[in-house]
């Protein structure tokens, strides 16, 4: 075993200081066995399968625990990729239980418990994990249960509803779904990125142009409103109060990652030069902004460690999404994998396995444990390890090439439109914050000023 307590390990600090060398990516077998320990440590943050606990979620949401609802949704996706690249099905039961328990009454990943912080991005992360299950051939639920593809469609269809695309800022999705939530007046890149990503994937999976049209429209909107510039820098978001002219230029790695992967699906689906160019540019921008010295870095918050718990999990998504993009747009393989290799080497160097416990850190560029631990940090390293194996794993299925998941073009049509919430918000409604990117000045700042100390 890698972190065994051999006499040597106990012999002295010197050895312990270098214990990070214990994880290795030298061979495929090394990557898999490293991933299996990192996955185990990740799952140790999950208690939803214990008596009296809620299946599907990580401890939270704040202040009940560190994690918002969306992060568990993201974690199931990370564990599906882990299963796909290693064949280790140890967690398949909890993954299935989680993804089915949280579907909500409309089978659309809008469970009432999370309404007060329900963003399009929160819903989108669960939808993308369901989509990944369909594309990966993850075991289908019993026919009486909701099916992976239909769940992903439900998320997409509810987000394509005209109600969610009001004319302010010329269209686009708002961050929050219910009108009463703090952040309803913000249109942001991650919400639109989830929608774009799912649209591109559903178009390819079902060979259906309707989804591709939405994806294309969303990309164009991002560029038109100034949330994505010529060089494919992606900015955080802007407010409807100002018709989105107040672009918050903070850059987060998952925004680039989500648009890169979606663009790769669009390229694969259309074969168009236009999408090939977009993929190429997005790879360059992602490496330039988020991989200084080829090591994943979160520029908006890492230097002074002002990252929120949410932000501490983005590196792993970027790794997995870049490597999945390689499967769909193989022409980027060399450029991407050269970077991910160096980055993963640094990632595992932040893991320690001494007598004080086994865990991975966050500041990968230091190549040493930095004292920062949590589910996000663990999921990042798992994502990095998986990303080295993803390009050679089987490519995402489509309905024609092995996918068995059953879809439903009507999924989401009976969903809650939150009309009941179009009344003045209660304090309870205001308490949630969903995926906290940056709290920005807005017309609401007087009312919600207490929240802007969060970053």
Ligand X SMILES: *[C@@H]1O[C@H](CO)[C@@H](O)[C@H](O)[C@H]1NC(C)=O
| Residues that bind ligand X in the complex, under the rule CB under 6 A | 43, 49-50, 54, 90-91, 94, 101-102, 111, 113, 169-170, 206, 208, 210, 224-225, 243-244, 268, 271, 327-330, 395, 399, 407, 409
Whether the CB-CB separation of 198 and 407 falls below 8 Å is answered with no
**Residues β-bridged to residue 359:** 352
User: 352 φ, ψ to 5°?
Assistant: -125, 155
C-beta of 71 vs 354, nearer to ligand X: 71
C-alpha distance from residue 114 to each of 100, 103, 119, 296 (Å):
16, 11, 9, 31
Cα angle 383-202-114, degrees, rounded to a multiple of 5: 65
CA neighbor of 387 nearest in space, from 315, 433, 324: 324
Q: How far is the CB of 453 from ligand X (least distance, A)?
A: 28
C-beta of 390 vs 439, nearer to ligand X: 390
C-beta of 265 vs 290, nearer to ligand X: 265
Spatial neighbors of 135 by CB under 8 A, at least 6 apart, are 201, 205, 396, 397, 398, 403
Whether the CB-CB separation of 351 and 381 falls below 8 Å is answered with yes
Which value, in Å, is the radius of gyration of the alpha carbons in the chain? 21
Q: How far is the CB of 155 from ligand X (least distance, A)?
A: 12
Q: How far is the CB of 107 from ligand X (least distance, A)?
A: 12
Q: How far is the CB of 391 from ligand X (least distance, A)?
A: 9
Query: Largest Cα–Cα distance in the chain?
Result: 67
Task: Output the six-digit token pair for 438.
Answer: 């940056």
The answer to whether the bond into 63 is cis (omega within 30° of 0) is yes
C-beta of 248 vs 350, nearer to ligand X: 248
C-beta of 47 vs 367, nearer to ligand X: 47
C-beta of 193 vs 361, nearer to ligand X: 193
Whether the CB-CB separation of 146 and 100 falls below 8 Å is answered with yes
Which residue is at the shortest CB distance from ligand X? 395
Class of residue 157 by CB neighbours under 10 A (exposed 0-12, middle 13-18, buried 19+): buried
Q: How far is the CB of 120 from ligand X (least distance, A)?
A: 18
Cα angle 78-85-322, degrees, rounded to a multiple of 5: 60
C-beta of 127 vs 361, nearer to ligand X: 127
Q: How far is the CB of 132 from ligand X (least distance, A)?
A: 15
Q: How far is the CB of 269 from ligand X (least distance, A)?
A: 8
C-beta of 208 vs 294, nearer to ligand X: 208
Q: How far is the CB of 94 from ligand X (least distance, A)?
A: 5
């Amino acid at each position: 075993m890698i972190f065994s307590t051999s006499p040597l390990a106990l012999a002295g600090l010197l050895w312990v200081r270098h214990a990070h060398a214990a994880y290795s990516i030298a061979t495929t077998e090394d990557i898999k066995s490293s991933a299996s320990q990192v996955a185990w440590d990740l799952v140790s943050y999950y208690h939803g399968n214990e008596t009296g606990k809620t299946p599907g979620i990580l401890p939270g949401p704040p202040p009940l625990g560190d994690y918002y609802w969306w992060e568990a949704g993201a974690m199931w996706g990370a564990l599906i990729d882990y299963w796909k690249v290693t064949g280790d099905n140890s967690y398949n039961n909890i993954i299935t239980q989680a993804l089915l328990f949280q579907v909500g009454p409309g089978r659309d990943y809008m469970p009432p418990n999370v309404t007060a912080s329900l963003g399009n991005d929160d819903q989108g992360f669960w939808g993308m994990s369901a989509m990944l299950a369909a594309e990966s051939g993850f075991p289908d639920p019993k026919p009486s249960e909701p099916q992976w593809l239909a769940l992903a469609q439900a998320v997409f269809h509810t987000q394509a509803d005209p109600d969610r695309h009001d004319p302010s800022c010329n269209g686009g999705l708002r961050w929050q779904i219910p009108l009463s939530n703090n952040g309803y007046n913000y249109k942001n890149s991650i919400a639109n990125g989830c929608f774009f990503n799912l649209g591109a994937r559903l178009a390819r999976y079902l060979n259906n142009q309707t989804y591709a049209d939405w994806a294309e429209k969303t990309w164009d909107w991002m560029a038109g409103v100034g949330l994505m510039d010529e060089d494919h820098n992606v900015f955080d978001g802007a407010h409807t109060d100002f018709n989105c002219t107040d672009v918050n230029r903070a850059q987060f790695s998952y925004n680039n990652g989500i648009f890169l992967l979606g663009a790769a699906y669009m390229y694969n689906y259309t074969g168009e030069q236009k999408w090939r160019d977009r993929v190429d540019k997005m790879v360059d921008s992602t490496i330039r902004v988020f991989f200084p010295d080829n090591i994943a870095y979160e520029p908006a918050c890492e230097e002074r460690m002002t990252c929120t718990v949410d932000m501490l999990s983005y590196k792993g998504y970027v790794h997995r999404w870049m490597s999945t993009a390689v499967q769909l747009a193989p022409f980027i393989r060399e450029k991407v994998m050269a970077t991910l290799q160096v980055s993963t080497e640094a990632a595992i160097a932040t893991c320690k396995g001494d007598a004080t416990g086994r865990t991975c850190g966050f500041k990968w560029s230091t190549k040493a444990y930095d004292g920062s631990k949590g589910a996000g940090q663990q999921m990042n390293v798992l994502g990095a390890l998986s990303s080295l194996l993803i390009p050679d794993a089987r490519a995402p299925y489509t309905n024609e090439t092995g996918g068995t998941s059953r879809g439903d073009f009507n999924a989401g049509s009976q969903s809650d439109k939150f009309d009941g919430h179009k009344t003045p918000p209660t304090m309870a409604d205001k308490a949630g914050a969903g995926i906290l990117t940056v709290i920005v000045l807005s017309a609401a700042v007087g009312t919600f000023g207490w929240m802007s100390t969060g970053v």
